[in-house]
Chains A and B, each alone.
Chain A
Amino acid sequence: ETGVTQTPRHLVMGMTNKKSLKCEQHLGHNAMYWYKQSAKKPLELMFVYNFKEQTENNSVPSRFSPECPNSSHLFLHLHTLQPEDSALYLCASSQDLEGRIYGYTFGSGTRLTVV
């Protein structure tokens, strides 16, 4: 257990479904992130939240919609996804945006398959 918990661990959804990924941390961190991990590609930063405010959106399609109700929880709402969106979605947190001392703490990820 790394301190960052992601649920569900696995998700299979159809292209017309709506689902949500959940991330929770009780490390007292103030910054939270969504990353997409695809095979043989660098991790892609999707969204950054700092003190519940979105500070970065890396040109992510609108079918991905993040929500950060408080500094401990982060959601990724999914709708009308495409098969190429199948990947491992990783949540991470850090003490602050700089992650200066410890870098990031990652969750175990949600393995998403779009059929």
Chain B
Amino acid sequence: GDSVTQMEGPVTLSEEAFLTINCTYTATGYPSLFWYVQYPGEGLQLLLKATKADDKGSNKGFEATYRKETTSFHLEKGSVQVSDSAVYFCALRSPGNQFYFGTGTSLTVIP
């Protein structure tokens, strides 16, 4: 069945470091892909999305490109800030409109 696999954390980076959080998916058909962010004590918020192959989603300095050939949707940011500390979830919406979430990757950015 459809699923999402993302890198396990936790990830600890220094401020201004480059961030990559890997996400790969398994799906039949052509899914839409999402990254959600969960700040401490809060629910999940949509960070960015891509609905078709080669689309690049971007928001708040974060980017992810929908790569059909590698079935990936890796999250990247060139220079992280302390305020980016959160848990990041990769998600897939299948053509059958089912949502599948990854296990989440915890990011801590230290000054």
Asked whether A and B interact, the reply is yes
A8 within 8 A of B: no
Residue in B closest to A44 when the chains form the complex, CB atoms:
B101
Which residues of A have CB within 8 Å of B91?
103
Q: Which of A61-69, A70-78, A94-102 contacts B (4 or more CB under 8 A)?
A: A94-102
Given that A45-B99, A98-B97, A99-B93 are contacting pairs, would A107 and B4 also be in contact in the complex, using a CB cutoff of 8 Å? Answer: no
Residue in B closest to A88 when the chains form the complex, CB atoms:
B43
Residue in A closest to B6 when the chains form the complex, CB atoms:
A42
- Give A77 Cβ to nearest chain B Cβ, in Å: 21
Which residues of B have CB within 8 Å of A105?
46
Across the interface, A107 reaches (CB within 8 A) one of B34, B43, B46, B102, namely B43
Q: Decide if B43 touches A90 in the complex (CB within 8 Å).
A: yes
Q: Decide if A41 touches B103 in the complex (CB within 8 Å).
A: yes
Residue in A closest to B44 when the chains form the complex, CB atoms:
A106
Interface residue tally for chain B (C-beta within 8 Å): 21
- Give A32 Cβ to nearest chain B Cβ, in Å: 13
B41 within 8 A of A: yes
B45 within 8 A of A: yes
A35-69 residues with Cβ-Cβ distance < 8 A to B are 40-43, 45
Q: Decide if A42 touches B97 in the complex (CB within 8 Å).
A: no
Contact with A along B94-108 (1 / 0, CB 8 A): 000111111100000
Q: Report B's interface with A, CB cutoff 8 A.
A: 4, 32, 34, 36, 41-46, 49, 89, 91, 93, 97-103
Can you report 16 residue pairs joining A to B where beta carbons are below 8 Å apart? A40-B103, A42-B4, A43-B89, A43-B101, A45-B99, A92-B43, A97-B97, A98-B93, A99-B93, A100-B32, A103-B46, A103-B49, A103-B93, A106-B44, A107-B43, A108-B42
Q: Which 10 A-B pairs have the closest CB atoms?
A: A106-B43, A43-B101, A106-B44, A108-B43, A103-B46, A107-B43, A98-B97, A42-B101, A108-B42, A109-B43
Q: Report A's interface with B, CB cutoff 8 A.
A: 2, 4, 6, 40-43, 45, 90, 92, 97-100, 102-109
Given contacts A98-B93, A99-B99, A108-B43, 7 further A-B contacts (CB under 8 A): A40-B103, A41-B103, A42-B101, A43-B89, A45-B99, A99-B97, A103-B93
